[in-house]
């Protein structure tokens, strides 16, 4: 969706569009003051509001967690336990939400989605916090079915 929005915005303004790729939205946030990009489409949160301005909301998504099939983690209560490792992408809104809501589990930041996928698949982390849409795509890559947890009003 952000690519399409950028393309349409450029067309309406009559300017060329140039896409700048980043591994995650935290890196986009870090680059805000560097003048590398002019417009981006990111989830709004308190940290980002100190670094950039925001327009109207263009999409609402759920954040949740995915675990590998057969995991002992089956709900938020079994997720938020000492010794449980939850992966999240570096400096993202979802990462900050997981840190805010998980009082006992350890949230660990990683730079890329692919890195986290490999860690989850190999059992090196117990769960991955991300938007439901992105996790839907990830679930298709598991040889066995991945398990979703309902966040019970938590990210």
My answer on whether 72 and 137 are in the same domain is: yes
Determine the Cα–Cα distance for residues 92 and 113; give it in Å rounded to an integer.
12
* CA 109 and chain centroid, separation: 11
What DSSP string describes 34-95? GTS-S-------HHHHTTS----------EEEEE-TT-S--SHHHHSSTT-EEEEETT-HHH
My answer on whether 138 and 102 are in the same domain is: yes
Q: Is residue 58 part of a domain?
A: no
My answer on whether 118 and 67 are in the same domain is: yes
Mean predicted confidence (pLDDT) in 29-42: 86
My answer on whether 71 and 120 are in the same domain is: yes
What is the pLDDT of the chain when averaged over all its residues? 83
Structural domain of 6: 2-49
Contact status, residue 40 vs residue 17, Cβ threshold 8 Å: no
Q: Is residue 100 part of a domain?
A: yes
My answer on whether 71 and 102 are in the same domain is: yes
Asked if the model's pLDDT at residue 155 lies above 50, the reply is no
My answer on whether 127 and 91 are in the same domain is: yes
My answer on whether 21 and 68 are in the same domain is: no
> Which CATH number characterizes residue 98's domain?
3.40.190.10
* CA 79 and chain centroid, separation: 18
User: At 153, is the pLDDT very low, low, confident or very high (cuts 50, 70, 90)?
Assistant: very low
Q: How many domains does the chain have?
A: 2
Over residues 94-145, the pLDDT tens digits come to: 888 899 899 999 999 998 888 988 898 888 999 999 888 777 777 777 766 5
Q: Is residue 54 part of a domain?
A: no
């Amino acid at each position: 969706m952000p690519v399409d929005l950028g393309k349409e915005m450029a067309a309406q303004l009559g300017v060329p569009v140039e896409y700048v790729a980043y591994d995650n939205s935290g890196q986009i946030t870090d680059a805000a003051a560097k003048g590398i990009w002019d417009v981006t489409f990111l989830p709004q949160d308190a940290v980002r509001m100190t670094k950039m301005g925001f327009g109207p909301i263009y999409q609402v998504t759920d954040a949740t967690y995915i675990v590998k099939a057969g995991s002992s983690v089956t709900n938020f209560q079994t997720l938020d336990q000492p010794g449980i490792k939850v992966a999240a992408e570096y400096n993202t809104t979802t990462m900050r939400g997981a840190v805010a809501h998980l009082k006992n589990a350890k949230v660990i930041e990683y730079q890329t989605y692919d890195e986290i996928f490999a860690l989850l698949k190999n059992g090196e982390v117990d769960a991955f916090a991300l938007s439901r849409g992105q996790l839907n795509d990830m679930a298709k890559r598991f040889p066995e079915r991945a398990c979703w947890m309902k966040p019970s009003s938590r990210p």
